[in-house]
Amino acid sequence: MTPPPAERRWGAEQRTREKELLARLAALAPDDPTRQAIRDELVVMHLPLAEHLARRYRNRGESLEDLVQVATVGLIKAVDRFDPTRGNELATYATPTILGEIKRHFRDRTWALSVPRRLQELHSRVTIATDALTQSLGRSPTVRELAEHLGVGEEDILDALEVRHAYATNPLDPPEGDDDPPRSVADSLGQVDAALEAIEERETLRPLLAALPDRERRIIELRFFENKSQSQIAEELGISQMHVSRLLARTLTELRAGLAAA
């Protein structure tokens, strides 16, 4: 991605300063109190980048002020996660992170506008209650148990579950790519390979699976090749069961389309 004008005007002086700050940050312990000041200086240095990217999303119904704020959150995340030993410039690294933050903001807003408030609230209560009851019962709860627990009708629970599948994205989901992706462990790889060997379209399927984000691929492997339940997968990956179920549905649809197109 081409750096924006503000970045291109950067002189040698600023580059040197950035390198120096990053080197100092790398040398400090994670809990060192002086980190904050260095981090702030790096963020301030790159604010023109955040503003520039935010401006691209003007005239979409959000004030520039709000957009800059969202972009700044992305910039702070980028500064915190940036690893100078990878040989990238901070600005190069930060650009997709900032854009991701802005796009997520728009997605969340769309969700908030399109799903009736009653269902949004219910959906969030059902998501939380499902995981809480799974903990206390030692298994996934039924619709009846959820309805009793929340003091609502069974139809309400079904509506809330439906909402989960009716919209492409959901603000309750943890942001994608924010955590280290789960890794397949060696012995489960053997299991997955054996299962794939039995599938006739494996040569088409393999690249489709490989192209999935790590978490989605892992969910497919655990559910279909290792026969784990959705609750077990939720626990293993540290996300809600409703999130697992939505990612499963979405990924299956993608895979089906990919196989049909082959």
- Residues in the site for other proteins, rule: CB under 8 A? 130, 139-144, 146, 154, 157-158, 161-162, 165, 195, 198-201, 205, 223-225, 227, 229-231, 241-242, 245, 248-249, 252, 255-256, 259-260
Q: How far is the CB of 222 from other proteins (least distance, A)?
A: 10
Distance CA(39)–CA(244), nearest Å, equals 35
Q: How far is the CB of 10 from other proteins (least distance, A)?
A: 50
Please identify, using beta-carbon distances, which residue of 47 and 195 lies nearer to other proteins: 195
Please identify, using beta-carbon distances, which residue of 18 and 159 lies nearer to other proteins: 159
Please identify, using beta-carbon distances, which residue of 23 and 262 lies nearer to other proteins: 262
Q: Are 52 and 6 in contact (CB under 8 A)?
A: yes
Please identify, using beta-carbon distances, which residue of 101 and 131 lies nearer to other proteins: 131
Please identify, using beta-carbon distances, which residue of 70 and 248 lies nearer to other proteins: 248
Please identify, using beta-carbon distances, which residue of 22 and 163 lies nearer to other proteins: 163
Q: How far is the CB of 241 from other proteins (least distance, A)?
A: 6
Distance CA(78)–CA(172), nearest Å, equals 22
Q: How far is the CB of 219 from other proteins (least distance, A)?
A: 12
Distance CA(14)–CA(178), nearest Å, equals 29
Q: Which residue has the tokens 């697992």?
A: 244
Neighbours of 202 (CB within 10 A): 13
Q: How far is the CB of 212 from other proteins (least distance, A)?
A: 13
Long-range contacts, stretch 240-243, CB < 8 angstroms, 24+ apart: 240/127, 240/128, 240/130, 240/131, 240/172, 241/130, 241/131, 241/134, 241/140, 242/126, 242/127, 242/130, 242/161, 242/164, 243/127, 243/170, 243/172, 243/173, 243/174
In three-state form (DSSP H/G/I as H, E/B as E, the rest C), the secondary structure along 26-88 is HHCCCCCCCHHHHHHHHHHHCHHHHHHHHHCCCCCCCCHHHHHHHHHHHHHHHHHHCCHHHCC
Q: Return the structure tokens found at 47.
A: 């604010």
Q: How far is the CB of 187 from other proteins (least distance, A)?
A: 19
CB burial of 16-44 (b: ≥16 within 10 Å; e: otherwise) equals: eebeebbeebeeeeeeeeeeeebeeebbe
Q: How far is the CB of 179 from other proteins (least distance, A)?
A: 22
Please identify, using beta-carbon distances, which residue of 88 and 142 lies nearer to other proteins: 142
